[in-house]
Structure 1
Amino acid sequence: MPAVPMLAVMVVVQAYSGPPAQAGKAPSPTATTVVARRAVHAVIIDGKDDDEVWREAAAVTAFREFSPREDGDPRFPTEAKVAYDDHNFYVFIRAFDPHPDSILKILARRDVRAPTDQLKIVIDSYHDRRTGFEFAVNPAGVKRDYAIYDDNREDDAWDGVWEVATTVDTLGWTAEFRIPLSQLRYAHADSNTFGFAVWRDIQRYTERVSWPVYRQSQSGFASQLGDVTGLVGLPAPRRLEVAPYMVTKNVSVPAGPSFDRSQKLTAGADLKYGLTSNLTLDATVNPDFGQVEADPAVLNLTAFETFFQERRPFFVAGTGVFRFAVNCSQVNCNGERLFYSRRIGRAPQLPGNDAGSPIATTIYSAAKLTGRLPGGQTVGLLDAITQRATGSADRTTEPATNYAALRGQQDFRKGESGIGVMFTAVNRSLDPLTDAALRQSAYVGALDFRHRFLGSRYQLSGSLDVSRVAGTAAAIAATQRDPVHYYQRPDAGLPLDPTRTSLSGDAEELLFGKVGGGITRFETSYQRRSPGFEVNDLGFLLRADQQSWNNWFGVQSLHPSRVYQTAFWNFNWWQYWTVGGLPVERAANTNVH
């Protein structure tokens, strides 16, 4: 019987556990680039460099002083090392100091800058030279963090989830950072490059050093970062955070000679989900902001509204995406904007003397989608619904309202130029008690642009906004008479029409200035807002019917002398008119510091 050959098949299955660890000596960092080292084992955050990855990672040593001297030799050396794994981005910094007993360890609240030394890392995970995150710590372990947008604007209300440990020893002091990748936004790719920088403050000498060197004589912040490369195989995590809550409230109410007690149960939840590595969905249902820091006490004796910073976590996240300033220049900038999130969940507008009216309207639900796409597009979409607020006898003090905002931006030339659009909408469910005082609907559309040229030393920017509000004749008449418009002014020459049921307006801005290079800076700008321009349903506006010409010129010296470390001289001149040409204000000032 013939033998039947048998084919032996051996299948070897190897489980994939991520990119292999880097072998050999790490490449030496340059003046602007460092290669991150992949950590094989989890890094213990204790402020010490005894982990294996820190022995293998190359040290960044080319730190340069940038204040008070630009690109000067630092007083003390500094070293930084960068590592990562599938879940975290790590940085270890050694700040050498021959007199460690002079390093102050001052405690302070989070995000409060204490008069002490500081170490800070800056990460531009999108690598778009426009956005990023800052993580700072002092020797006592006090943390500070910021979100960066528009290249050089900081949002100090942003609070990330990250870890840092510090130690003070005979060599100086150290800081070891662990930044979860879930806190960063980056494009999913085989290999990533992040913008990166390390800053050090030596408080007792008022000296600041950085890698790479930060040049105050140039424009921008995120655009001056170096690069961290070698980030191979970063996952695209589906970030999911859910924070449910439940609150019970027992209220004692006088009832004749005794008291009645009412029990109230409230529940809700916040959700954050990473749809992709660079698009995030935030949602909230019946949110509770009881632990949010209270607004400062303000005594306002004017007819104009006070601007308060947003502190509620849901609205703080991604706030830079929705920013669209109005009437803002180097001379005057009062927080006026098309999107002011404090309108959502605001105090009821018609409380009167009703003690039964709540201090804030209830947000039924809200959702927000923010992110940045690989093609340089930034998108932001928000929608929120607030509950009808009532006082005694079921009297409406704030109607149920729907708020919506859309913001889109497209960058060109590596962020040197860009265009953007914005739309906002507000719709209220009015009843006979509220339709005479509140507008039923409000819509705003806007375009903006910016362009830097001649080596990023000059910038031209501008915007065009249009608005339309509608409601009953009584509500629109009240709008014409309010302090933002003052149609009834004897000198206004405006047609106050008590029969109209809508009001439309427009606003224009054009700004040109020198933003970098040399010792001089300047900006000249023209802003105009028509009498009917109205954005206060979801924005913040102090005055309409105004045009202005603002001019600013400055001279700066960043080279220390025997008299000063840095010196600045500024000259400001501005003039305001009504749209009809009536002069309102003309002024100038100068200052030296």
Structure 2
Amino acid sequence: MYKLNLLLLLGCCTFCNYAFAQQKKNANYQIHIKRAASAIKIDGLTDDADWQKADSAANFFMVLPMDTSFAKVRTTVKMSYDNNNLYLLAICYTVRPGPYMVESLKRDFNFGKNDNFLLFMDPFDARTDGFSFGANAAGAQWDGTMYEGGKVDLSWDNKWYSAVKNYPDKWVFEAAIPFKSIRYKKGIREWGINFSRNDLITTEKSSWAPVPRQFPTASLAYTGSIIWDEEPPVASSNVSVIPYVLGGVSKDFQAGTKAAYRKEIGGDVKVALTSSLNLDATVNPDFSQVDVDQQVINLNRYELFFPEKRQFFLENGDLFSNFGYADIRPFFSRRIGLNAPIRFGARMTGKIDKNWRVGVMDVQTGQSGAANLPGQNFGVVTLQHRVFSRSNIAFMFINKDATSSAPSAGSTAPGYNRNVGLEYNLASSNNLYTGKFLALKSFSPNVSGHDFVAAGNLQYLSKYWTFYLQQQYVGRNYNAEVGYVPRVGYNKINPLIQHNFFPKSGVVLSHGLQLSSTYFFDEHFKRTDNESIFSYLITFRNRSTLTFSGLDTYVKLLRPFDPTNNGNAPLPTGTANHWNTADVQFASKPQSVFTYLFEAARGGYYENGNRLSLTGQMGYRFQPYVNLIMNLSYNDLHMPQPYGRTKFWLVGPRADVTFTNTLYFTTFVQYNEQAKNMNINSRLQWRYKPASDFFIVYGDNSIPSPFTVKNRQLTVKWTYWWNI
């Protein structure tokens, strides 16, 4: 274990000598930005005098289907600014007249299912984090924060303005992004920037500064530069107050209690301590308008993960949530306020300079009578220091303390839990090599020994080859009460290799073989379970995909487990199981108004049983106002008695109706046969001003058969974003 970690770390350092000596890949791609001489009106027109004089970024490069030529569809981008806003104009030409392909007018659309234009901006030119703004051809906005060198968190929401105009031969996107809405450092006159265009009619994805096809166009390793004619303006006052007022009613029909009424006020305050460092404070926050989680059939032995969606935790959220791995997260913000109300909290996040990022968070929760939990305080400190061109070293400390006694005797909540961690994140200048080396230790009352984590991984990703190797050790006493670590007491080894082929003609764009294995051992390196997957992946020129897979699975139970997760008697500890599975997946081309995907898997299961699993999604859009989606999942388990045959349906229709790009109605119905629950969530959202909303949210849960209502709730909420 330790030798492998050391080899991974030495490998990272060796690659550093090669990869980090290189300069910025696309440094020669530059667009110059000049101060506007007069007011620019955001109307989707190109007749403003300053646009006629502005520098242009054109001659985009094709990224998909292939990255070896200029784009067939033309795109021209211009930028300007004044004391308050950064202005953007994108003229997106088309090859022939016809309807544009969009899902709806809803914000933060699916990139692959919309004709769209996106801006990726790195104000520090550090090639690790930044901001993204854009729109689809119908005018729906897209905004998010960027992290890990090329990922976009669309949960982030801020105040900006845009307009889109459609013409027979082009569509035009115009935007004003207030300097108050982004974080940057005073005095830096060269920012990293790239522009991305997705055109579904030609199935072409393109970018201004060239990006290899194996990477997303959001990859900050391949940004060009925006050169300012003078220092970017700095807002003299950047304070936002975001109050809310809420009224609601709920009723628990199962408990037979009377209707409970809610009348609440609260809100957030955002203060720019510097142009790149932000303080967020919240009092009595409410998250009733947040999208409900999409349910899944749960046949896993370990806890499922659902992402954070609450606005308070999102800005610079990668500083906290991306420390560690997907299955080793020392901090997971959804643990805060899970069973107890959040009373108040504060976060300071952002950049000190080009090389240092910082995050400090403190949140206080109240007592919970229902869960018999005391009031608790959650404190987190994280620091990130950039090294070489795009790598970083990060530190994190997490503290959870009880601040009062439980409402009644018998609480099992410990007095404290602490975690400290250090990680090195490798990212080469051209993004071909990435990796991580992680060390964590937990501190809990009356626990010592086997309470630490050591893990590492290294990846090489080129157009033709992918090599990946990951190793993890998690001690049996490691405890991250404010984290997501579903499994402890193991060693894990996960290799992967993939090779791609690119035919010069025909309907197939690329195809390739992938082989991966995941082996788990106990702390004495005795095998407990493993899964090996052999896949053949095909991508067609119309962007549809087809994958065939064969899986070999071995599981030795480390604790009693009901393989139906349906309340049956569990299989005993030590039960060994081995089976094989065949799997096929297909996703249709995204440029149709009717889209679909399906997956079918057939193979063995626990106790020499067998399992048939069918999942699918169908979508139809009445552009640009209505997008209908149906999610389906079916599992059929055949096992010896006492289990017998068990069948589960999960049906989830969803309707998104966008009357305009500021008025949305969403209804999401989920019928989960395994959980014996039917959930309805309906939400009307009116964005009457940028980042200011009025919500009406209705939800209920019912027992499907015989139909019985369990609970219902109705909430009306008003928010206002006030810049001081």
TM (norm. structure 2) is 0.66
CA distance in 2, matches of 1:512, 1:250: 52
Task: Name the residue aligned to 1:527.
Answer: 472
Task: Name the residue aligned to 1:139.
Answer: 137
Task: Name the residue aligned to 1:338.
Answer: 330
2:66 is paired with a residue whose SS is coil
Superposed, 1:464-483 pairs within 5 Å as: 464-470=439-445
CA distance in 2, matches of 1:199, 1:176: 15
Residues 69, 559 of structure 1: 8 Å contact kept: no
**Given the superposition, is the C-alpha separation of residues 418 and 264 from structure 1 closer, same or farther in structure 2, using an over 3 Å criterion?**
closer
CA distance in 2, matches of 1:458, 1:305: 31
Does 2:64 correspond to 1:67?
Answer: yes
Superposed, 1:212-361 pairs within 5 Å as: 212-217=209-214, 221-230=219-228, 232-237=230-235, 238-248=237-247, 265-300=263-298, 302=300, 304-326=302-324, 328=325, 333-334=326-327, 336-347=328-339, 361=340
Does 2:539 correspond to 1:590?
Answer: no
Deviations 1:245-270 (A, max 9, x none): 2334568999xxxx988865422221
In structure 2, what residue type is equivalent to 1:579?
A: E
**Bigger share in strand:** 2
Which one of the candidate residues 434, 438, 442 is aligned to 2:413?
438
Q: Deviation at 1:62?
A: 2.0
Task: Name the residue aligned to 1:509.
Answer: 455
Task: Name the residue aligned to 2:491.
Answer: 547
CA distance in 2, matches of 1:560, 1:100: 29
Residues 239, 273 of structure 1: 8 Å contact kept: yes
Task: Name the residue aligned to 1:5.
Answer: none
CA distance in 1, matches of 2:137, 2:497: 39
In structure 2, what residue type is equivalent to 1:561?
A: S
Task: Name the residue aligned to 1:423.
Answer: 397
In structure 2, what residue type is equivalent to 1:245?
A: Y
**Given the superposition, is the C-alpha separation of residues 592 and 314 from structure 1 closer, same or farther in structure 2, using an over 3 Å criterion?**
same
Deviations 1:459-494 (A, max 9, x none): 442011000222xxxxxxxxxxxxxxxxxxxxxxxx
Task: Name the residue aligned to 1:492.
Answer: none
Task: Name the residue aligned to 2:352.
Answer: 373
Q: Deviation at 1:42?
A: 2.1
2:87 is paired with a residue whose SS is strand
Task: Name the residue aligned to 1:18.
Answer: none
CA distance in 2, matches of 1:82, 1:207: 24
CA distance in 2, matches of 1:185, 1:591: 43
TM (norm. structure 1) is 0.79
In structure 2, what residue type is equivalent to 1:589?
A: I
In structure 2, what residue type is equivalent to 1:380?
A: G
Deviations 1:14-47 (A, max 9, x none): xxxxxxxxxxxxxxx9961000121122211111
1:65 is paired with a residue whose SS is strand
Give the alignment's Cα RMSD to 1 decimal.
Answer: 2.7
CA distance in 1, matches of 2:55, 2:115: 24
1:389 is paired with a residue whose SS is coil
Q: What is the total number of aligned residue pairs between the two structures?
A: 505
Deviations 1:252-298 (A, max 9, x none): 999xxxx9888654222210010000100000011121222222234
CA distance in 2, matches of 1:222, 1:32: 13
Q: Deviation at 1:566?
A: 3.0
Task: Name the residue aligned to 2:154.
Answer: 156
Which one of the candidate residues 569, 574, 589 is aligned to 2:513?
569
1:232 is paired with a residue whose SS is coil
CA distance in 1, matches of 2:300, 2:470: 27
Identity of aligned residues (%): 24
Q: Which has the bigger relative contact order, CA under 8 A and spacing at least 6?
A: 2
Deviations 1:503-541 (A, max 9, x none): 76000012123134x521201121100110111x21111
Q: Deviation at 1:580?
A: 1.9
CA distance in 2, matches of 1:570, 1:262: 55
**Given the superposition, is the C-alpha separation of residues 74 and 404 from structure 1 closer, same or farther in structure 2, using an over 3 Å criterion?**
same
Structure 2 runs not aligned, ≥5 long: 1-25, 538-724
Task: Name the residue aligned to 1:487.
Answer: none
In structure 2, what residue type is equivalent to 1:430?
A: S
Superposed, 1:38-49 pairs within 5 Å as: 38-49=35-46
Residues 450, 462 of structure 1: 8 Å contact kept: yes
CA distance in 2, matches of 1:410, 1:435: 44
Which one of the candidate residues 458, 462, 469 is aligned to 2:437?
462
**Given the superposition, is the C-alpha separation of residues 434 and 228 from structure 1 closer, same or farther in structure 2, using an over 3 Å criterion?**
farther
In structure 2, what residue type is equivalent to 1:75?
A: K
CA distance in 1, matches of 2:530, 2:343: 47
Task: Name the residue aligned to 2:361.
Answer: 382
2:382 is paired with a residue whose SS is strand
Residues 126, 187 of structure 1: 8 Å contact kept: yes
2:39 is paired with a residue whose SS is coil
Which of 1 and 2 has greater Rg?
1
**Given the superposition, is the C-alpha separation of residues 388 and 553 from structure 1 closer, same or farther in structure 2, using an over 3 Å criterion?**
same
Deviations 1:45-67 (A, max 9, x none): 11111111101112222211111
Structure 1 runs not aligned, ≥5 long: 1-28, 348-360, 471-499
